[in-house]
Amino acid sequence: MRGAMRGEEIPVLPRGVRLHQDRVRGGWVLLAPERTVALDQVGHAILSEVDGKRSLSEITAALAEAYNAPQDQIMQDSAGFLAALRSKRFLEVVTEVTAEVAT
């Protein structure tokens, strides 16, 4: 069982999981196999920055600047959300994928 996502980890949305603007209800959702997750502002802000290249620290630092909010706060606010996505396999971490391929 994994804990919270660490700052140096690089999150990536795996194939089959994507952001979608819900034009009927408003707002953004994450579409995944058999699941639709409604996103709040922080969730949407983070996931729209996830590109499989930048680490969680880099992403949250950029958001801290853009929204003029403390980075620690953003990390804290999003930890549970990111962990839940990860345990459902809606979010993965790049370094680990590489490790799996290597073994």
Residue 22 binds another protein (CB under 8 A): yes
Sequence-distant (≥ 6) Cβ neighbours of residue 39 within 8 angstroms: 19, 27, 28, 29, 30, 47
Map the footprint of another protein across residues 36-75, applying CB under 8 A: 36
Residue 3 binds another protein (CB under 8 A): no
Half-sphere exposure of 5 (CA within 13 A, CB side): 32
Question: Alpha helices, DSSP H only, in the chain?
Answer: 41-49, 56-67, 71-87, 94-102
* Shortest distance in whole angstroms from residue 6 CB to another protein: 15
Residue 102 binds another protein (CB under 8 A): no
For another protein, which residue of 8, 70, 88, 98 counts as binding (CB under 8 A)?
88
Helix (H, G, I), strand (E, B) or coil at 12: strand
Per CB under 8 A, the segment of 42-50, 51-59, 69-77, 81-89 that binds another protein is 81-89
- Which residues of the chain form contacts with another protein (CB under 8 A)? 1-2, 14-18, 20, 22, 24-25, 29, 31, 33-34, 36, 86-89
